[in-house]
Every structure is written in C-alpha cells, then in structure tokens.
Chains A and B, each alone.
Chain A
Amino acid sequence: MGRRHTSRQDLLPGTLDMLILKTLTRGVMHGYGIAEHIRQLSDEVLHVEEGSLYPALQRLQLQGLIKSEWGHSINNRRARYYRLTPAGRRQLGQTESSFRRLIEAIARVMRPA
C-alpha cells in the first residue's frame, strides 16, 4: 500500500516532540539543524524520517511550545529558526520527568533476574 510511517513506529509515541524540545534547549535552530542534531547525538540509532519533523514543528508551534522566525543561514540562505518558549520549557520538564520514570520502570522490569 501507499505510504509507510516506519519512522513513527521506530520512536515511542510522543518522543519526537520531546526530542525536538530538548534539542531546542541548546538555542535557536532551523529544521535541518534539529534533524541533524538528533541523528548525530543518537549515533543514528533513532531513525527519524526527516520529513516528519516539519509537521511536528508546526504542531508544537500551534501549541505555543515553540516560536519561529525567518533569518539567514550560514551560507546566506533564507531559513526558519525555531526557539523554545517558556511554555515549551515547562512542557519539556514535565515530559522529561515522566519519560524518565517510564524508562526506569522498563529498565527495572528488564533487569536480569
């Protein structure tokens, strides 16, 4: 059949948003920069279909968690830069802690008996 959303299935639900927010704590970035950052930091383990980043960025923007403005990239191309809003920062704190609890819980279960 037509499309595949393998990338989505590769990530836990909701993690993409969290990864984007976390990445943006480092400062203002454009879409490609965010994708590249996630790819490199995760040693290419997290396979994000790069295109799915953009709907996620739109969604976060509509939720008021990030903001964007147009600027110029290093090689003087017009690029849209995203930044974290205070609401986005709060949201990240919440999801981070609940994510950590989830990971710890999974780790406890998976610990060799």
Chain B
Amino acid sequence: MVRLGVSLRAWIQRLASMARRDRLDDELRDEVQLHLELRRQALIDDGMDPREALGQAQRMFGNVVAIREETRDMWGFPSIDSLWQDLRYGVRLLRRSPMFTFTSILSLAIGIGASAAVFSLADRMLVQVLPVRAPEELIILRWHSGPVLPFSSLNGNASQNDDGFASTSFSLDAVRRVRTEARPLVDVFGFAGLDRVNLSIDGVADLGEAEAVSGNYFSVLGVCPTRGRPLLDADDSAEAPPAAVISDSLWKRRFAGSDSAIGGTLFVNGAAFVVVGVIPASFHGTGQVGTSPDLYVPLASRDRIVRFDDKSTDVNFWWVLMMGRLQRDVTSDQAQPRIDAIVKQSTASARPALGAKDLPRVDVASGARGQVEVREGVREPLRIMAIVVGIVLLVACANVASLLVARGRARLREVSVRIALGAPRRRIVRQLITEGVLLVAGASAGGLLAARWIAAGLLPALQQGPDPMTLAAGLSPRLIAFVAVLASGCVVLFALTPALRASDVTLVTGLHEAGRGSSSARYRGGLSAGLIVVQITMSTVLVASALLLVRSIHQLERVDLGFDARHLLLFKVDPTLNGYQDERVVQIYEDILE
C-alpha cells in the first residue's frame, strides 16, 4: 500500500515536472554553478592557486553534462522525451542527405510494398473467412466419382484424373432433397454463378456478374440487406414474380445509391427483375475468391437468364453448388453419411443405369471461405510470389544496410564527439536506430500506398479462368499489423548492426581518424564485404528469374500469327445474351460489319 502510494506520487511528480522541465534544468544548473563556486572558494582558502582552483573543482565534481542528463531522465519519461529528441535529430540529419534518404526509402518501400501486396492477396484468398454469421459452422460439399459420368452435363468446376471425376456441382434435385431430408443435421443452401450477363437499367446496358441462389441463401448465411429485403423461399419458384437482390457496388454505380432503387426494374439478358434489396458492401458471395456478383436471383429464375442451355430442373444437369450450416452440436462427420446417401439416391433415380460403385461419393469440407477450387489453385503461385518478394525485401535491406555502414564511417567524428561529450553508448545506438525507424516508417507508408497497385498488378498472374478476378483492396488492421512487424524486422536487419558498429568507437582513434578525414581500410571491412556478398547473390537470383519471365513473355508475343496484326482491333459482341436468335443474330453481325 505504502509502495503504491510512493510510486504513484513519483509518477505525479514526474508528470508535473515534465511541464516545468526547463525551469528544473535551470535550477539544476544554478545549483551546480553554486557548488562549483563554493568548492573553488574552499580550495583557494586551502591555499590553492586561484587559476587552478576552478579546474580542480570541476574535476572533483565530475561530468556535468552526464549528470544533468541523468537527472533530467529522472524528471520526465526519459524514453519518450529523448525519443522525441532522437526523432527530431534524425529528421534533420535525413533531410541533410536527401539522396541517401530517397534511395533508402524508395528501395525499402518497394520491398515492403511488394510484401504487403502479396500478404494482402494471401490474406484475402487463403485466410479471410466469409463475412457472415459464424462462418466456422459452414460446410461445402464436393463429390468424387469413378470413370463413369454420373451426369449428362455439368456447369461449374470439375477435375478429371485417371480415377474419375471430382466436382462441387450438383443437380437442383439433389440440392432440394438434401435440403429437406438432411435438415435435422444441416441447413443446406444452393448457389451457382451465371457468369457474364447483360445488365440493362433505364436503357443503358452493361456487363455484370449474376449469381443464382436458393431462397434460404441469405437467411442461412445470416447476411442482412442494408436496404429492402433478402431473397426468400417464396421468390424461389417458377411462379413467383422475378426478384433480384443487388450488390452495394451495383447500387451505387447504377442507382446512384438512391432508395428508389428498391422496387425498380432491371433487365438481365433481357429478362425483367424487380430489385427487392441491397446487400452489404462487405459480402461478395460464396463463390470463387476474386468473384464479386453484381446481383443475386433465385435458382428458379436461372432459365429466364441463361436461355440456350439445359433446363435447370433437368436431373442430369449438374450446376448448383451446395453449402450448408451445421445444426447445433452436429459435426461434419455426422452429417456426411446422410448427405452422401441422399445424393446417391437422387443420382440413382436420375440414372438407373449407373452401378452402385459409379455413384458419386460426397465429402464435406469447411465452407468458412466459400468455394475452394481457385483458393487451392492460387496457393502455389502465392508461395512463389512470397519467396520472390521476400528476396526483394532482403536485397533492399542489404542495400540500406551497406549505405548505413558507409554513412557510419562518415559519421565517425560526430559519434566520437557525442561520446566525448558524455553520451552513453546506448543513446548513440538508439539515435542511429531511430534514424532507421524513420526510414522504415517512411518506406512503410509508401509501401502501404503502393501495395494496392502492386496487388492489382499481381492479380492477373493468379487468375485461373478466363474471367478477371476482382478483389476489394483496402487497408485491413491485419495488413497494417503485418507491415508493422515486417518493418520492425527490417530495422533489426539493416539498422541494428551498423548502429552497433558505428557506436563502437574507441574515442581516441575515432577522433583521430575522423580528424584526418579518412578511415583505415581494415575498419569494418568484414561487414560491408558480407553485405555485398548477400546483395550480389540475391540480385543474381532476382535478375535471373526476371529474365526468364521476360523471355517467356517475349516469346509469347512473337508467336507468328500468320497475318498482319498491326492496326487490328479485337472486340466481341454477344447479342445472344439478350435473346437474339438465329437470323436476327446474323442480321446484327452484318449490321456491325457495314
């Protein structure tokens, strides 16, 4: 209790003294002055030569600057206070050598920006879960079959190997059966991407992405519209008036974010839909990573949009993906056999010719991140990117470190003078590291700004299908935390060793050598040599891989097309999206040719 009181009072006094520190400093100076004066007088009284007395008094007193520093540290919050000093001094020094500052910040910013970009991509694609209620309860269903196809046609992702097929698409019948029959175990919903559609609003046409979803899609996911209502089971029937829920981005883009959008009409591939709601900007559907549907329509209205394809209710047409939310206290292992049985049943009744061993086996995977194929596909490219940007960052650190070592040599005199004036070594090290922190802070800010564009530049390299990916980029707390950790690592990598080296100055040689304006060649030879080796190695690796990349792109561009590609423009018109058929399509193409 007493201790607490004492330390509390000490803190209050510190706070108070922070406010009047200049006065305290003056007081201490007066006190020391008086002390020296009295001591000098006493020495003279003892018979000392008055000319020597002051010097002797000072020797008896000790290092005035160090003592003032020590006392001052006691008054305030030494770390914060001298940190501020270090920062100001560091900024001044960095401004004095703009070339060095610019080069260091630029190279670090490139390294940090690239790392941040890859991190944000990896975070978005592999780590982040769907922005829905309790995403860990979600499951996604996949099936494997033998070499005999259990369907007649399939829309979606499928892979084929020697053993057979695997996919995430099911028939509408299977989805409806699982939904009703497995309800005690899992709340299943269906969804399917409808690819590019022609979106026409107030007579202005545009391409957009549409997603067909079951009536319980939004309620099971727990996604609440920001305006209007979600799609409901009542909407998901052929007789219901066609309803659509639009994305926040489409709402802002095409409806100017107006409330009157609700109840408005839009035409999807020529079919009219009434907008009933707007979903939050954070939700981008449960499809592949990088997709972002502009609107959601009921599964039952698919045939109104996609006209020249199999009928959506065809039991041998597999096109719906299935996800679900496990009921309370049900594990995915408990749900799997039941779902498997239902899907087998549905398949067997649709294709009686199939043998029991040809029926698809359903397994259950975590649905916390939505559809999985692209995510699995980007894992490897992302890993390679991470390695490359890691090397870039290391090279940048080595660059800056060797610049700092060179600067450390040039600053030998400054450091020696500061030590001579009584600065403790840790203070010098801290000063040098503060400069490193300043550089990294500048570079991190630049890197974070650049990360967006770098990520956008890297995205096409991760693209798996023909459609470009879109990822809502932005600063997330996780990204900022990552950059902060990265930046601290960089400081340790490039600033700590040069700082320790530079401050390890034997006073006499330091002043001496610096005074001569030269430094002996052996001084710190080892560190710079090591850094140069690291730099050259890393750069060689980088240049080699960059050359390979450029060369393959170059060769792709040089492929002989067999015709003169200059002054040619490629564009595509697809009137079939809007329901133009047969002769009318030909007519339109002829019109365009003229």
Contacts and interface: CB of A to CB of B under 8 A. Distances in A.
A36 B42 contact: yes
Given A49-B62, A80-B27, A54 B67 contact: yes
A13 interface: no
Contact of A79 (B9, B34, B424): B34
A64 B10 CA distance: 8
Interface in B8-38: 9-10, 13-14, 27-28, 30-32, 34-35, 37-38
A49 B60 CA distance: 6
Query: How would you classify the secondary structure of chain B's contact residues: helix, strand, loop or mixed?
Result: helix
B74 A77 contact: no
A52 interface: yes
Given A52-B62, A55-B74, A31 B14 contact: no
A55 B34 contact: no
Interface string B478-513: 000000000000000000000000000011000000
A98 interface: no
Given A2-B507, A52-B67, A63-B10, A32 B74 contact: no
A64 B6 contact: yes
Contacts of A1: 419, 506-507
User: Counting chain A CB atoms within 10 Å of each CB, which of B30, B38, B71, B422 scores highest?
Assistant: B38
Contacts of B75: 58
Contact of A3 (B32, B34, B422): B422
Given A54-B32, A55-B74, A64 B64 contact: no
A94 to B, nearest CB: 12
A32 B34 contact: yes
A31 B36 CA distance: 11
A50 B62 contact: yes
B37 to A, nearest CB: 7
A62 interface: yes
A37 to B, nearest CB: 13
A7 B62 CA distance: 9
Interface in A33-69: 35-36, 49-52, 54-55, 58-59, 61-64
Given A62-B74, A63-B10, A51 B63 contact: yes
B61 A32 contact: no
A7 B70 CA distance: 15
B461 interface: no
Contacts of A7: 62
A58 B27 CA distance: 12
Contact of B32 (A49, A51, A64): A51
Given A7-B62, A32-B34, A50-B61, A62 B67 contact: no
User: Counting chain A CB atoms within 10 Å of each CB, which of B70, B75, B507 scores highest?
Assistant: B70
Contacts of A49: 60-62
Interface in A62-100: 62-64, 70, 73, 77-80, 87
12 contacts: A1-B506, A30-B34, A31-B35, A32-B39, A50-B39, A51-B66, A62-B13, A64-B9, A77-B37, A78-B30, A79-B34, A87-B6
Interface of B: 6, 9-10, 13-14, 27-28, 30-32, 34-35, 37-39, 42, 60-64, 66-67, 70-71, 74-75, 419-420, 422-425, 506-507
